[in-house]
Amino acid sequence: MSIATKSGDGGETALAGGERVSKGDDRVGAYGAIDELVSVMGFARSICDLPEVAGLTEKLQRELFTVGGLLVKGADEELDAAWVDALGAEVERLEALPGMLDDWALPGGHPAAAAYDVARTVCRRAERSAVALRDGGHVVPASVVVYLNRLSDLLWLLGRRIEKEAGVDGGLRGKGSGPRWSRAW
């Protein structure tokens, strides 16, 4: 048996249940963005020196397979509410660390933090894809959009945590060069 089935050579693929659709279909784009996010997070995890962050990242990668599955199925089945709550709790915990919200970030000050910044942007694209899918009349559980929104916040904070642990000032404005960062910026 081979993974090269050749059934997609004409530009079509199968969704859950066997329905054949164009590889350009919005549903394929939405779950493809989740697939890309899982891979980018895997790269970030592979270069992260903080075991706690790497462990959390692996857990989130595993959860994303369920998120992608819900997009493929098109079923009105919600994610486990505890997953969204856990993301929110982790966001709050990291935001409470000194200096975490002092400035916006200029990606690239530290390799692993930059990888988490790339993951954040891919997560935002996955979120936009899920919203576009929903806006196009497809079934997208509300919890999927909430999960992706919260996850992108967490990925940004994980990048900042890595920078703080490494003693890197990845702030956009640098020390003392502008007003304090705010959510309204």
Q: Where are the domains of the chain?
A: 18-166
Mean pLDDT (10-residue bins), the chain, 185 residues: 75 74 79 96 98 98 95 86 96 88 78 97 97 94 97 96 86 58 45
pLDDT at 185: 40
Paired tokens of 185: 């910026």
Paired tokens of 125: 């694209």
In this structure, whether the domain defined by 18-166 belongs to CATH 3.30.70.100 is answered with no
Residue type, 163: E
Instruction: Single out the residue of 49, 69, 62 nearest to residue 110, CA to CA.
Output: 49
pLDDT at 42: 98
Query: Which pLDDT tens digit goes with each residue over 97-128?
Result: 887 777 777 788 899 999 999 999 999 999 99
What is the maximal distance between C-alpha atoms in the chain?
61
Paired tokens of 153: 């916040």
**pTM of the predicted model as reported, rounded to 2 decimal places:** 0.86
